[in-house]
Structure 1
């Protein structure tokens, strides 16, 4: 019997665990799920004969290494800074490693050692990054194989609340790691548009966002995502005039989040004492108090009406409340994360939604064509979410392909090769994760 070791049992792990346990009897494998929260792990695996729950501190080397030594395949859904502990042990004990996180400089430095060890480290094998890479490369390779020359590539993805449960002024609810939501975009963005490299600073990222039309949904806003330029080489699209990867949101969210950035409430650089600090005073720490009410002071600072949608959004989060925060020492981002988790949480019957779209412009036989390829995936409830499906299922499918020895790739990779994307995308369709295409 093969053994799979999964680190992390958070929001994104649900569908992955379900997939591994559903396939366990036929595939003859056993799954060990390790997390600091043992009760959480037990809630995810139930009473399955094919699963073991364990609780531990990832930084406890002996316990971590013993788990890794005893397994055949490691999957990590830990917070990104913790992957390197697992990666170094996988390298030492020659174990294949799968994760949904971006390749970071620390693991990049191990690339030659990974190759020499004859093992596979597959990073960016989730949704975004993950399904975006696979679906994009399938399109790119298909166009190139037919003699098409691509000159513009744009890719958009967003984890959103479904329209039927879109019932708050933010048009947003938390469907994955709230800390990542709060810190999203804080490094700004770099992309290429009409032949020019463009850099957008964090304080401008959510300001006056553009929109795209999604079939069946209408207009969604987008903001450029991280450093798009590095993927031009990965996708072998060096000479494109336009190349951008972007995040999707409902338009109201971007307007409200831009206000939070202007107020300094997403800053994670220094801690403040919240034991006697009210939410009202915290939110207005940079705001002058000229007017008669906190709402009017805030509106004046932001340059909006006191009856505007933005002020309603801030009020919904509780930024004008006079209760004490009392979270000990926290950064502004930490306080905001706590509020977001409380105020924008999914209710038990809520469904989330993942939307992805690729927009490619290419020329073939002297004919210019614009192609749209889009995917909309709905969650089942607030546990079996679309986010959990689209992050977890690619990892589960890849784990099965590796343990069946249908993929024998070695080295450090992301999922841009046909031997990965063809079988994974094919099986994802069985879970209603599929793309529709249109041409102009």
Structure 2
């Protein structure tokens, strides 16, 4: 019997665990789910004969390493900073590793050792990054195989609330790690537009958001995502004039988040004592507040809007303009904001989320210019089996099956850009209604 070790039982793990357990009888698997929250693990695995709960402190090598040593494959859905710890264990004990997180500088330093050990460390095997790479590379390689010359590549992806559950002024609810939402875009963005490299600092990232039309949904806002240029060589598009990867949101979210950034509420460096600090005091602490004005009026004045504007309604909805004490001990601004979002933008049990992905590729073939649009919309079932959990978890589960059944011979530190990975994974994803529709202009 093969053993799969999954680190992390959070929001993104639900559908992955379902998939692994559903395949366990036929594949002869046993799954160990490791997390610090025993009740959370049990809520995901139920009473399955094919699963074991391991309630551990993942930072403790005395309990973590024996689990890695005894397994055949490791999947990590831990916070990104902890992946390197698990990766070093996998290298030490000769285990393949799959994760949905970005390749980072620390894992890059182990690249030669991973290759020398003949192991597969597949990173960016989730949604974005993950399905974006696989679907994009399938399109790119198909176009080039037919002699097309690509001049423009744009890729957009967003985790959104489904229209029927879109009932707050932010047009957003949390379907994944709230900390990632708070820190999203904090490193700014770099991309190329018509031959010119564009660099957008964090403080201007959201005030430059533009809109794009998505079939069946109308206009969505987008902002450029991280360093798009990191992927030009990987996609074999290093010389094209326009290359950009972007995040999708409803327009109201980008406008509101721009105000949050301008108020300085996403800083994750300096801590402050919050036990005697009010939310209104916290929100206005980075601006020159007039003591004769209310928090609403001060913030409105700072943002250059009316105190009855949509932006102020959004901030009031979060409860960050009232006189309640924060009472979270020592916290960074980002920590306070995360607490606020988890309380005010949580998904209710019946809420449904939605994933939207769109690729736009312009190319020339036989002296004819063509624009290809390929889009995917995935709906969640409820607040547990979300579209986010499906699109992050299922690619990992499908690849785990391929690896454990000996259908993958690939080794080294990789992301899923090769046909031997993306063809079978995308094909099986269609069985779960995760598919792309294409149109040509």
TM-score (norm. length: structure 1): 0.99
How many angstroms apart in 1 are the aligned matches of 2:106 and 2:123? Answer: 13
Given that 2:208 and 2:223 are in contact with CA atoms closer than 8 Å, whether structure 1 keeps it comes out as no
Q: Which residue is 1:28 aligned to?
A: 28
Instruction: Report the 3-state secondary structure (helix = DSSP H, G, I; strand = E; otherwise coil) of the residue aligned with 1:267.
Output: coil
Instruction: Report the 3-state secondary structure (helix = DSSP H, G, I; strand = E; otherwise coil) of the residue aligned with 1:21.
Output: helix
How many angstroms apart in 2 are the aligned matches of 1:104 and 1:239? Answer: 24
TM-score (norm. length: structure 2): 0.99
Q: Which residue is 2:227 aligned to?
A: 227
Matched, 1:317 2:334: no
How far is 1:321 from its partner? 1.2
Instruction: Report the 3-state secondary structure (helix = DSSP H, G, I; strand = E; otherwise coil) of the residue aligned with 2:351.
Output: coil
Q: Which residue is 1:293 aligned to?
A: 294
How far is 1:307 from its partner? 1.1
Matched, 1:277 2:277: yes
Instruction: Report the 3-state secondary structure (helix = DSSP H, G, I; strand = E; otherwise coil) of the residue aligned with 2:233.
Output: helix
Matched, 1:67 2:67: yes
How far is 1:209 from its partner? 1.1
Number of aligned positions between the proteins: 440
Runs of 5+ unmatched residues, structure 2: none
- The C-alpha deviation readout for 1:363-385, integer Å capped at 9, x for no partner, is 00000011100000000000000
Q: Which residue is 1:338 aligned to?
A: 339
Q: Which residue is 1:158 aligned to?
A: 158
CA RMSD of aligned residues (A): 0.7
Q: Which residue is 2:391 aligned to?
A: 390
- The C-alpha deviation readout for 1:315-354, integer Å capped at 9, x for no partner, is 0000111111000000011000000000000011000000
Given that 2:2 and 2:29 are in contact with CA atoms closer than 8 Å, whether structure 1 keeps it comes out as yes
Instruction: Report the 3-state secondary structure (helix = DSSP H, G, I; strand = E; otherwise coil) of the residue aligned with 1:173.
Output: coil
How many angstroms apart in 1 are the aligned matches of 2:201 and 2:413? Answer: 31
Runs of 5+ unmatched residues, structure 1: none
How far is 1:292 from its partner? 3.5
Q: Which residue is 2:15 aligned to?
A: 15
Q: Which residue is 2:401 aligned to?
A: 400
Q: Which residue is 1:42 aligned to?
A: 42
Matched, 1:52 2:52: yes
- The C-alpha deviation readout for 1:37-92, integer Å capped at 9, x for no partner, is 11100110000000000011112112211101100000000001101111011111
Instruction: Report the 3-state secondary structure (helix = DSSP H, G, I; strand = E; otherwise coil) of the residue aligned with 2:228.
Output: coil
Matched, 1:366 2:367: yes
Instruction: Report the 3-state secondary structure (helix = DSSP H, G, I; strand = E; otherwise coil) of the residue aligned with 2:232.
Output: helix
How far is 1:290 from its partner? 5.9
How many angstroms apart in 1 are the aligned matches of 2:28 and 2:292? Answer: 69
Given that 1:291 and 1:297 are in contact with CA atoms closer than 8 Å, whether structure 2 keeps it comes out as no
Q: Which residue is 2:194 aligned to?
A: 194
How many angstroms apart in 1 are the aligned matches of 2:36 and 2:84? Answer: 17
How far is 1:286 from its partner? 2.5
Q: Which residue is 2:413 aligned to?
A: 412
How far is 1:296 from its partner? 1.4
How many angstroms apart in 1 are the aligned matches of 2:299 and 2:99? Answer: 42
